[in-house]
Amino acid sequence: MAAEAVVTMDGWCMLHDSRVFDWASWKVANEKERTEAVAEFKELISKWEAVEEQKNGSQSIYKVVGNKADLIFIFLRPTMDVLEEIQRELNKSKIGDYLIPGYSYVSIVEKTMHNPMDEGRDRELNSKVEALLKPILPKWEHACFYPMARRRWKDANWFAIDKAERTRLLYEHGMTGRKYAGKVKEIISGSIGLDEWEWGVTLFAHDPLQFKKIVYEMRFDEVTSKYAEFGDFLVGNYLPKDDVDTYFSL
Amino acid sequence: MAAEAVVTMDGWCMLHDSRVFDWASWKVANEKERTEAVAEFKELISKWEAVEEQKNGSQSIYKVVGNKADLIFIFLRPTMDVLEEIQRELNKSKIGDYLIPGYSYVSIVEKTMHNPMDEGRDRELNSKVEALLKPILPKWEHACFYPMARRRWKDANWFAIDKAERTRLLYEHGMTGRKYAGKVKEIISGSIGLDEWEWGVTLFAHDPLQFKKIVYEMRFDEVTSKYAEFGDFLVGNYLPKDDVDTYFSL
Amino acid sequence: MAAEAVVTMDGWCMLHDSRVFDWASWKVANEKERTEAVAEFKELISKWEAVEEQKNGSQSIYKVVGNKADLIFIFLRPTMDVLEEIQRELNKSKIGDYLIPGYSYVSIVEKTMHNPMDEGRDRELNSKVEALLKPILPKWEHACFYPMARRRWKDANWFAIDKAERTRLLYEHGMTGRKYAGKVKEIISGSIGLDEWEWGVTLFAHDPLQFKKIVYEMRFDEVTSKYAEFGDFLVGNYLPKDDVDTYFSL
Amino acid sequence: MAAEAVVTMDGWCMLHDSRVFDWASWKVANEKERTEAVAEFKELISKWEAVEEQKNGSQSIYKVVGNKADLIFIFLRPTMDVLEEIQRELNKSKIGDYLIPGYSYVSIVEKTMHNPMDEGRDRELNSKVEALLKPILPKWEHACFYPMARRRWKDANWFAIDKAERTRLLYEHGMTGRKYAGKVKEIISGSIGLDEWEWGVTLFAHDPLQFKKIVYEMRFDEVTSKYAEFGDFLVGNYLPKDDVDTYFSL
Amino acid sequence: MAAEAVVTMDGWCMLHDSRVFDWASWKVANEKERTEAVAEFKELISKWEAVEEQKNGSQSIYKVVGNKADLIFIFLRPTMDVLEEIQRELNKSKIGDYLIPGYSYVSIVEKTMHNPMDEGRDRELNSKVEALLKPILPKWEHACFYPMARRRWKDANWFAIDKAERTRLLYEHGMTGRKYAGKVKEIISGSIGLDEWEWGVTLFAHDPLQFKKIVYEMRFDEVTSKYAEFGDFLVGNYLPKDDVDTYFSL
């Protein structure tokens, strides 16, 4: 018999969009082209910031450490349509010629429903839950992203065990998370039916060491050691709009 | 001893053809070239639409969210020959220079045969089944594609269990699907012997959240939690012909 | 103790050579260059056809459906030296500039030896076996290629079970194959020690639906459901020399 | 119940940054460009060396054997911010146009805490531990890098076994390591939450045969044979600043 | 408890360096450039041959069958430093612009030590063993390369079983190998700590069918069917210096 399915509350659509910057071509461009491209890019950021101010979405840009990408953009918007439009606008912009698309991840901000009475009220819940489902990204110094899935193994099948057991395991997991209050903020987004893994996890910290601390400690939680599979991890440093000129200057 | 094999009814050949758009080269092209390329592309779409009007095939174009592709074309045609010709015509067209081929998937629309008396009457069945095997793609706002396979594990071997057990598991699975009537439409196509996985699943919805809802809920079905393996998921927003100019305009 | 090893009879060397056609560069070439490239390519084909007429080899070209490749060449020749020379001659030819090498597969046509007395007489057997080991490719409308291997799992180790059990399983498998007589032709080539998987399977059919039918039905055979692992599948439509001009014309 | 989590002491942030050198473009550059690029690169190295002299970081450059990369840079710095700035400065430099980014790895130097009393004193410990957490890379002739993880299998789950058992296994492992004192130096850095695997291992030796000797012998340690998974291995020869001119000269 | 580790005797460092030849760019080069590039390449080969004559190393070049590469160079030298210098010299040479680096493999020729008394005498043994550890590559018509590893599975863990059992399994394996005396020559090189797999196997034969015969027969050996994992296989035809002009001529 099938296990009882989880009911989720779902919020904004989320896009992690990493880009490799083509420095060699950038240097070949003349100074006027570069200046215009950066100015136009900053206008785009301002436009995005206005959306965030109106609480119709949120975004941040991070400088990725290592060679997986140069920049990663994280966008939250009410619809998938807007996310695609943002990408297209970026690609059509002048700086878009140098921002070669890399790894990306599509998901929707998700909270597991504890009270089945709430079912069907997705996206219309009270303000507290709304803040969780439509989160404004904290402008902390560092972000970390990784996708994950739950195992469906013979003796460790997350989708076949009792709901009570799942609740117990997740409660224990939550207790580990609480130790990092104030040090790490977390956004969970669901990607089943949308992208390669089952969930995306986006972490924010003032000190990137805390990413290592929390993920390492959680690896000993039973829900992780027995049921979790992880994709690749990306770590980045926050790029405020004021540093955009410096970032691209030669 | 071998398990009893499934008998299928098979319809149109199906091609999922994703393309990365080369925006940087597109911008370098002059306006005349771009205008001609878009006009020629729209003529191609009109030609395809005429085929759909005559019920000799169907197709839709979607704007992909994320960096896996910019556009995905879904084509249904009576033969593999026509599918290859469509691709070649697209590649030879002006806009083809900018539509860099990406991930693709080849399959044939498939229904499992419940009445063995129907065997051998493939593609010649009554009008109701015909509509299922030769489906006109709904022009809903969003589409989702993913390939999947059934496990052949020691204790979970789909191709070795009783036909009755397979039927029971699929019936339960169908019950989950029914809950999404009106919210999600589904086309199942078989790719055993044709492409990397065993089936392609193409979903359509007005709200992409429903892709996440249905695939998540189905993950708790025994047929999924125990026997299913999934490839990558692609999600896109419908691109009607009327929006083609806007899509490519700089 | 080790299981009894299989003895094989081995024939022609086989190369599956897939190519992505660079349509964008092809369009930039002037008409004279294109005409010369196609004419030279057709001379190459004629040269290959002469080899086939003299029964010193065989080959066919297929238009691949989907984006894995545009064309796949299948070559059979007496030696690996000749296969490499053919590839090099193609690469040196004018059209070679546009035929970007893609996935390939190296193998040798193989028959399992049932009579151990025949051992050591490889490549020198009677005319019937000779026809199987040195096959002239049927010019049927469609071809399908996939590589495969046998599992070496704890409880399903093909290379550790009794020879009698292997024979029983393969006999059953052969019975499934017989149902497709006249619909599907098959060439098995061994690639252990030569390429990534253990065998290559090349199928030919008038209707590509038969590729799906036979591979699907065989998946229920015990030898497949328990012991087989599959690589990727490539499907193509036959390209006769007379259609070469049309194929490349703009 | 969850196993007791490990407590770590953590030091400098570490970046392994491999680059493929674009020799073909380098040859096309004129001699003046090449001379300036090398001179600027050596200034960068001098700047990095000054940081090392002040014990604010460390780095070395290695010439990679094989085609995975031409050069690998290993950087240790107090923060992720500085690591990203170093990469960006290198990419913006003249030689950066030819140093195509390849495989990279992000981690933080890590020591397992044996005395729980030390917890919370990360990065502020006594001078001996400080030397381990903020290591100056030995300028030995050869380096080897590989990432690794611990298994989370049903009967071999590193994160689910007793802490005492983990300590026993690691002690035995340490005994093997001691045999190579004077022959191999090792830096362990943690990458859980930062990169794809769980740890990075960087080895240094005068004779690269010792990399093979130690890793081979350790493979028989129970902690390895039962619990370890390895990524790819990169081996390189030390490139001192004095040899930089020769390295790039044509 | 840990199993007894193997003691090895180790010889020359070994590099398998495969290259894709850029025929399209080669054709664009003018005849003078091509002539000079080939002449310089032949001087390099002569230089390498002089090293082989003095028994300070060995090498051969093979024309690869299929699209994995065009050429594969196999180099044996006393140190990793010399291997890297050879690669760099090749990359800096004129023909290097067209020899795009592909798959490579780094290892050290290895013999398992049967007499523990020999331990520590690596590279200094008597002349018979010396010939095995510092092998001059036979200039036979065909070569085959593949990497492999031993399983570390729960019930099939090569690094956890008794040394006596390992010896028994390898003895049986050696018996299979002996059947191919005169038909196949083999060089085993260890890559633990150096490259992705654990060993590299390089085979030489007059008839490439023997690669298939020996690797197929050995697959039934218990040491293989139960404990072996294989990487990809590359097969090539010997390219003597006298054929270099012909190889590159247009």
Residue with tokens 């103790």: C1
Burial of D36-68, coded b for 16+ CB within 10 Å and e otherwise, reads ebbeebeebbeebeebeeeeebbbbbbbbbbbb
**A157 vs D contacts (CB less than 8 Å):** none
CA distance D38 to chain E (A): 16
What pLDDT is attached to residue D206? 98
The model's confidence at residue D113, banded by pLDDT at 50, 70 and 90, is low
Q: How many domains does chain A have?
A: 1
Chain B contact for C102 (CB, 8 A cutoff): no
pLDDT of B119: 54
Q: Are C81 and E209 in contact (CB under 8 A)?
A: no
> Token pair 């910031």 is at which residue?
A49
Dist CA D105 CA C112 (whole Å): 48
Rounded to two decimals, what is the model's pTM? 0.96
Q: What are phi and psi of D121, to 5 degrees?
A: -100, 20
Cβ–Cβ under 8 Å, residues D190 and D132: no
Q: B114-123, C185-194, E166-175 — which is least confidently predicted?
A: B114-123
The pLDDT of residue A142: 98
CB atoms < 10 A from the CB of D177, how many?
14
**Which backbone phi and psi does D219 adopt, to 5 degrees?**
-60, -20
Can you tell me the distance from the alpha carbon of C143 to that of A50, in angstroms, rounded to the nearest whole number? Answer: 56
Binary contact (E233, C196; C-beta < 8 A): yes
User: Is the Cβ pair C194, E233 closer than 8 Å?
Assistant: yes
Distances in Å between the alpha carbon of A139 and those of A185, A240, A241, E195? 11, 8, 11, 41
Residues 6+ positions from E209 with CB-CB distance below 8 Å:
C10, C108, C122
Each residue's pLDDT tens digit, C153-178? 999 999 999 999 999 999 999 999 99
In this structure, is residue C2 part of a structural domain?
A: no
| Residue C1 belongs to a domain | no
Report CA-CA distances (Å) from B3 to A64, C209, C226, C230. Answer: 52, 22, 11, 19
Burial C74-87 (b: 16+ CB within 10 A, else e): bbbbebbbbbbebb
Is residue A158, in this structure, part of any structural domain at all? yes
Q: Is B106 on the interface with C (CB under 8 A)?
A: yes
Q: Give the per-residue pLDDT at E124.
A: 56
The pLDDT score that the predictor gives to residue A123 is 54
Residue-level length of chain C = 250
CB-based contacts of E113: which residues, under 8 Å, 6+ apart?
Answer: E6, E7, E8, E9, E119
Two tokens, residue A83: 């996310």
CATH code for the domain of C21: 3.30.70.1030
Does C39 lie at the interface with E, CB-CB under 8 angstroms? no
Q: Which of D98, D146, D180, D227 is catalytic?
A: D146
What does the pLDDT look like over A80-92, one tens digit per residue?
999 999 999 999 9
Sort out which chain E residues have CB atoms less than 8 A from D233's CB and list them.
Answer: 191, 193-196
Q: Which two tokens stand for residue B187?
A: 């086309």
CA distance E10 to E78: 11
Q: Exposed, middle or buried by CB within 10 Å (0-12, 13-18, 19+), for B1?
A: exposed
| DSSP tag of C95 | G
C216 to B6: CB separation less than 8 angstroms, yes or no: yes
**Res B126: pLDDT:** 67
Q: Residue A126: what pLDDT? A: 67
- Mean pLDDT, all residues of chain B: 94
pLDDT along chain A (250 residues), means of 10: 85 98 97 98 98 98 98 98 98 98 98 62 67 96 98 97 95 96 98 98 98 98 98 98 98
Structural domain containing residue A220: 7-248
Kindly state whether residue E215 falls inside one of the protein's structural domains: yes
Residue E168 in tokens: 């028994």
E156 touches chain C (CB under 8 A): yes
In chain C, residues 6-25 whose CB comes closer than 8 Å to chain B: 20-21, 23-24
Q: Is position D60 within any domain?
A: yes
* Long-range contacts formed by C164-170: CB under 8 A, 24+ apart: C166/C6, C169/C221, C169/C222, C169/C223, C169/C227, C170/C112, C170/C223
Residue linked to tokens 């080369």? B22
Q: Are E74 and E15 in contact (CB under 8 A)?
A: yes
**Taking Cα atoms as reference points, which of C70, C75, C65 lies closest to residue C98?**
C70
Distance CA E18, CA E41 (A): 16
Kindly state the percentage of chain D with pLDDT values over 90: 89
Q: Which of A146, A171, A216, A247 is catalytic?
A: A146
The answer to whether residue B2 is domain-embedded is no
D75 phi and psi angles, rounded to 5 deg: -120, 135
Neighbours of D196 (CB within 10 A): 17
Q: Is the separation of the CB atoms in A218 and D59 below 8 Å?
A: no
C131 touches chain B (CB under 8 A): no
The 10s digit of each residue's pLDDT in A96-139 is 999 999 999 999 999 986 554 555 555 555 677 888 999 999 99
Q: How many CA atoms lie within 13 A of B215 on its CB side?
A: 32
Q: Which 8-state DSSP code applies to residue E118?
A: G
Active site residue D146: yes
Write down the pLDDT at residue D122: 55
Give the residue-averaged pLDDT of D211-217: 98
CB-nearest partner of E220 from C2, C92, C108: C2
Partner residues linked to E20 by β-bridges: E100
Q: Do A226 and D80 touch (CB under 8 A)?
A: no
Note the pLDDT of residue E119.
54
By the 8 A CB rule, do D91 and D37 touch?
Answer: no
Mutate to test the interface with B, among A8, A98, A159 (most CBs of B within 10 A): A159
Distances (CA, A) of D55 to B206, D86, D130, D201: 60, 16, 11, 22
Residues of B in contact with C209 (CB under 8 A): 10, 108, 122
Domain-located, residue A1: no
SS percent in chain D: helix, strand, coil, step 5: 40, 30, 30
Q: Choose from E21, E225, E227, E247 for mutation: most chain C CBs within 10 A.
A: E225
Task: Tell me whether D246 touches chain E (CB under 8 Å).
Answer: no
- For residue D40, being part of any structural domain is answered with yes
Q: Name the residue among C187, C142, C185 with its Cα closest to residue B106.
A: C142
- D219 close to E (CB below 8 A): yes
Side-chain half-sphere CA neighbours of E82 within 13 A: 14
User: How large is the C-alpha radius of gyration of chain D?
Assistant: 19
**CA-nearest residue of chain E to D219?**
E159
C10-37 residue pLDDT tens: 999 999 999 999 999 999 999 999 999 9
DSSP string, D110-152: EEE-S-GGGTT-TT---HHHHHHHSPPPP--SEEEEEEEEE-E
Distance from CA of D142 to the nearest CA of E (A): 9
Q: Calculate what percentage of chain A has a pLDDT beyond 70.
A: 94
Residue A246 touches chain D, beta carbons under 8 Å: no
Token pair of A145 as six digits = 């992203």
Say yes or no to pLDDT of E2 above 80. Answer: no
pLDDT tens-place values along chain C, 250 residues long: 578 888 899 999 999 999 999 999 999 999 999 999 999 999 999 999 999 999 999 999 999 999 999 999 999 999 999 999 999 999 999 999 999 999 999 999 999 865 545 555 555 556 778 889 999 999 999 999 999 999 999 999 999 999 999 999 999 999 999 999 999 999 999 999 999 999 999 999 999 999 999 999 999 999 999 999 999 999 999 999 999 999 999 9
pLDDT at C69: 98
Could D108 and A216 be called an inter-chain contact, meaning their C-beta atoms sit closer than 8 Å?
no
Closest CA to C211 of C163, C162, C245, C177: C177
pLDDT tens-digit readout, D50-92:
999 999 999 999 999 999 999 999 999 999 999 999 999 999 9
Q: What is the pLDDT of residues E176-227, one digit of tens each?
A: 999 999 999 999 999 999 999 999 999 999 999 999 999 999 999 999 999 9
Torsion of CA A51, A57, A60, A61, to 10 degrees: -80
Q: What is the DSSP letter of A13?
A: E
Query: Residue for token digits 């690996």?
Result: C80
Alpha-carbon A136 to chain mean position: 12
Chains D and A touch (3+ CB pairs under 8 A): yes
- pLDDT value of residue E129: 86
Span B151-160, mean pLDDT?
97
Closest by Cα among B51, B10, B8, B35 to B248: B35
Under the banding of pLDDT at 50, 70 and 90, the label for residue D152 is: very high
Please report, as a single letter, which amino acid is at residue C148.
M
Q: What is the rounded CA–CA span in Å between residue B103 and residue C35?
A: 31
- Please, what is the angle between helix A31-53 and helix A80-92, to 10°? 160
CA distance D124 to D122: 5
- For range E76-105, the mean pLDDT: 98
User: Which strand (E) or helix (H) includes residue E111?
Assistant: strand E99-112
Residue D129: CB atoms within 10 Å: 17
pLDDT at A118: 53
Contacts of E10 in chain D (CB under 8 A): 209, 212-213
Question: What angle do the packed helices D209-219 and D163-178 form, to 10 degrees?
Answer: 150
Rounded Cα distance between C235 and B193, Å, is 8
Helix axes E209-219, E163-178, angle to 10 degrees: 150
B81/B127: higher pLDDT: B81
ipTM of the complex: 0.94
Give which of C62, C65, C169 to mutate to test B binding, by max B Cβ within 10 Å: C65
Q: Which of E66, E146, E18, E234 shows the shortest CA–CA distance to C103? A: E66
Is residue A187 helix, strand or coil? strand
**Cα angle for residues D171, D175, D176 (degrees, 5° grid):** 120
